[in-house]
Structure 1
Amino acid sequence: MDKNKELGLFLKKKRSTLRPEQFGLKSEKRRRVEGLKREEVADLAGVSIDWYVRIEQGQDVNPSVDVLLALSKVLQLNTEEKRYLFNLSEKKMPIEEYTSINISDTLQKFLDNQNPNIAYVTDSKLTIIGWNKAALKVYGNYEEMSEKERNSVWRSFNDDSMKKLLDNWEGHSKLRVEQLRANYSYYENDSKINEIINELDAKNPLFNEWWSNQGIMGTPEGQKLLHHPIVGNLYLSYISFKSTDIEGASVTIQMPVDDETRTKLQQLISL
Structure 2
Amino acid sequence: MMSKNKELGLFLKKKRSTLRPEQFGLKFDKKRRVKGLKREEVADLAGVSIDWYVRIEQGQNVNPSIDVLISLSRVLQLNNEEKRYLFNLTDKKLPMEDITTAIISNTLQKFLDNQNPNIAYVTDSKLTMIGWNTAALKVYGNYEEMNEKERNSVWRAFNDDYLKGLLDNWEGHSKLRVEQLRANYSYYENDNTINEIINELNEKNCLFNKWWSNQGIMGTPEGQKLLHHPLVGDLYLSYISFMSTEIEGAYITIQMPIDDYTKNKLEQLMLV
Q: Please, what TM-score do these two structures have when normalized by structure 1?
A: 0.97
TM superposition shift of 1:133: 0.6
Q: Deviations over 1:32-59 (max 9, x none)?
A: 2221111111111111222111111111
User: Tell me, which stretches of 5 or more residues in structure 1 are unaligned?
Assistant: none
Q: Which stretch shows the higher mean deviation, 119-128 or 87-96?
A: 87-96
**Counterpart AA for 1:16:** S
The residue matched to 2:270 in structure 1 has which SS?
helix
Task: Find the counterpart in structure 2 of residue 240 from structure 1.
Answer: 241
TM superposition shift of 1:31: 2.6
**Counterpart AA for 2:162:** S
Task: Find the counterpart in structure 2 of residue 21 from structure 1.
Answer: 22
Q: Deviations over 1:207-236 (max 9, x none)?
A: 112112222224201111100000000111
Q: How does 1:127-166 map to 2 (within 5 A)?
A: 127-166=128-167
Q: Deviations over 1:100-148 (max 9, x none)?
A: 1111111111111111111111010000011111100100000111111
Q: How does 1:11-90 map to 2 (within 5 A)?
A: 11-90=12-91
**Counterpart AA for 1:69:** I
State how far apart, in whole Å, the 2-side matches of 1:217 and 1:48 are: 53
CA RMSD, 1 decimal: 1.1
**Counterpart AA for 1:26:** K
Task: Find the counterpart in structure 2 of residue 217 from structure 1.
Answer: 218
State how far apart, in whole Å, the 2-side matches of 1:244 and 1:132 are: 19
1:177 has 2:184 as partner: no
TM superposition shift of 1:6: 1.1
1:251 has 2:227 as partner: no
User: Tell me, which stretches of 5 or more residues in structure 2 are unaligned?
Assistant: none
State how far apart, in whole Å, the 2-side matches of 1:218 and 1:193 are: 20
State how far apart, in whole Å, the 1-side matches of 2:260 and 2:31 are: 45
State how far apart, in whole Å, the 1-side matches of 2:178 and 2:168 are: 17
State how far apart, in whole Å, the 1-side matches of 2:218 and 2:64 are: 48
State how far apart, in whole Å, the 1-side matches of 2:220 and 2:178 are: 14
Q: Which stretch shows the higher mean deviation, 142-151 or 39-48?
A: 39-48
The residue matched to 1:270 in structure 2 has which SS?
coil
The residue matched to 2:34 in structure 1 has which SS?
coil
TM superposition shift of 1:195: 0.8
Give runs of ≥4 in structure 1 deviating > 6 Å: none
Task: Find the counterpart in structure 2 of residue 103 from structure 1.
Answer: 104
State how far apart, in whole Å, the 2-side matches of 1:49 and 1:218 are: 51
**Counterpart AA for 1:58:** G
Aligned pairs, how many?
271
